[in-house]
Amino acid sequence: ATDLCSTMKFSAVAALFAVATSTSTTGASAFSPAAGRFAARPLAAALYSVATEQSGEAATESFRLNFKGEDGAALSPWHDIPLKGDGGYNMVVEIPKMTKAKMEVATKEENNPIAQDIKKGNLRDYHGPIFWNYGCLPQTWEDPNEEHPELKVFGDDDPIDVVEIGSKALEMGTVTEVKPLGVLAMIDDGELDWKVVAVAVDDPLAKEYNDIDDVPEAVKAGIREWFRWYKTPDDKPLNGFGFDEEYLDAAVAEKVIAETHESWKKLKAGDSDAGKLWLA
């Protein structure tokens, strides 16, 4: 009964904000046909292009989306793609909007391919679609060894997350330049898990949105409530948020990104405990 109640509550939250926060988008699977072929994706800030190539079968534990440079050599989307492009920050898209598979850059695997998260031996799916494009910023790291001075929690040991609120679905594995608009300090299982809200620089909304106050309240509330409730169908507690649950503005978002970039530099230099993370 508890699981059913949590699922119903999550579904109600999802339905409430789907109308306010998303445009009509077809396709309910993260595993688009393009993921199965070798596809070059130019990076404006780099002197090379990045490509993706699938190995393993979609929607199985074997699936991996691997990244390669223009010379065909393997590269890490976390460590080798630059943080910034010519027009914004480079977002690595892990989960396209309106899909449910919980895909992520595998930080502990060689070359950090995108894979589907596994919990208790099962592939992890959200209980409802996510209404925005979701991914991370390369060359950032939320240091689990460093306590936030105000929030008194430690980082979650991952690259910083991005919620891209543009009008179109972005394919898994694409590298898209985005403009940060604000940031939300989510507290997940006692860990700090920043959510950068951003818009793709080539999206029509980028002309309208320059800071968090430009984003409609329904969109901001939808993001916060989705992330508050999304784990409850698995009998997990509600997630919380720092700073009185308020969004911090674009200037603070860029400061947070810069701090996580510095943490990544220390990690790569061997000045921070890497644990099981793959860095080479």
| Residue 280 confidence (pLDDT) | 84
| Residue 70 confidence (pLDDT) | 86
Largest CA-CA distance found in the chain, in angstroms, rounded:
56
Looking up tokens 């405990």, which residue turns up? 273
Q: How far apart are CA 201 and CA 251, in angstroms?
A: 17
Contacts of 40 (CB under 8 A, 6+ apart): 49, 50, 51, 70
DSSP 166-201: -SS---TT-EEEEEEEEEEEEEETTEEEEEEEEEET
- Listed in order, strand segments (DSSP E) in 137-174 are 154-155, 161-164
Tokens linked to 54? 């699938």
Output the pTM of the full model.
Answer: 0.88
Looking up tokens 């409530």, which residue turns up? 225
* Alpha carbon separation from 187 to 134, 155, 243, 254 (Å, rounded): 18, 9, 11, 19
| Residue 54 confidence (pLDDT) | 97
232: three-class secondary structure by DSSP: helix
Q: In the chain, how many H helices and how many E strands?
A: 3, 18
Tokens linked to 78? 């976390």
Cα torsion 146, 152, 153, 155: sign: negative
Average confidence (pLDDT) per 10 residues, the chain, 280 residues? 50 50 52 48 47 96 96 96 96 98 98 96 94 98 98 98 97 97 97 98 98 98 97 92 98 98 98 96
Containing 256, the helix (H) or strand (E) segment is helix 250-269
| Residue 32 confidence (pLDDT) | 63
Q: How far apart are CA 219 and CA 225, in angstroms?
A: 10
Comparing CA positions, the residue from 25, 41, 35, 155 lying closest to residue 90 is 41
User: Could you list the active site residues?
Assistant: 126
